[in-house]
Structure formats: C-alpha cells, structure tokens
Structure 1
C-alpha cells in the first residue's frame, strides 16, 4: 500500500493497511486471527486510533500488547 495513503477515508483497503501495520509492528504470532475483513467501517475511527498509538511507540510491554489485541478483538464484527 502507498505509504502516503489517506487514512482519513474509510475503505477496505485502509482497514487492511491498518491491521497489517499493527500486526507487523506488534510482531503478532497469530496474525491470521486478525483478518482485515473481520472489521467494518463502523469501527474505523477506533481502528485508526489504535493504529496511530501503535505506530507512535517503539516498544510495548506484554500487558500493553495484550490490551491492544483485546481491544482489536472487541472491534471485530
């Protein structure tokens, strides 16, 4: 995906970019559990907020990682 993607637009492509970026940054072992198609446009703002927080940090404690994964799980349809 284009690095300069306009993430202000709710689209399946942006949801896919957000989820794959979070998975990569957190080095999620079970990335298949977080499929982009499991999220809808109605949760986009929350996904974007999580994405921005994850991208802004260099390291995460195990507790932080668990909280992020749990929140993503809560946003799945």
Structure 2
C-alpha cells in the first residue's frame, strides 16, 4: 500500500490500523468516511506515531483519540 497517495482508501486503512493498535473500545464510532482528504497529512503523521510506538499510556491514548476527534471535525 502506498500511503503517500492521498485518497479515501488510504484514510480507511490508516484509521483501521490506528483503531486496532490502540484497542479502542468505541471503534465503531470512528469511521474513515468522517475524515476529509484535506486532513490526510495530519492523519498520516498520527498513523506513523501510533504504528511506531510499542505501547501507550492512558494519557497518550486520550490525546490520540482527541486528535482523531479534532481531525474529524475539520469538515
């Protein structure tokens, strides 16, 4: 998968990987279609951060979830 291409398919892939990695309880509330392509670069940065970290503290998880929320609300 070439994540340098800014498209809906890559957004869906990154969101799914972030949700799985963080083991989010409310995973069904995070839908890839809610994220505009305009926020792709920020989402990609977040994806890279999440996939490189072996584990997260509760505070880190809350901050990542908050960032996902702010990206979703950029429509």
How many residue pairs get aligned? The number is 73
In structure 1, list runs of 5 or more residues that go unmatched: none
Cα RMSD after superposing both structures: 0.6
Normalising by structure 2, what TM-score? Answer: 0.95
Look up the SS of the partner of 1:58 in the other structure. coil
Q: Aligned partners of 2:65, 2:37: CA distance in 1, in Å?
A: 19
Any runs of at least 4 consecutive aligned residues in structure 1 with deviations exceeding 2 A, and if so which? none
Residue 16 (structure 2) aligns with: 20
In structure 2, list runs of 5 or more residues that go unmatched: none
Residues 2-60 of structure 1: per-residue CA shift (max 9 Å, x gap): xxx00000111100000000000000110111100000110000000000000000010
Q: Please state if 1:6 is matched with 2:2.
A: yes
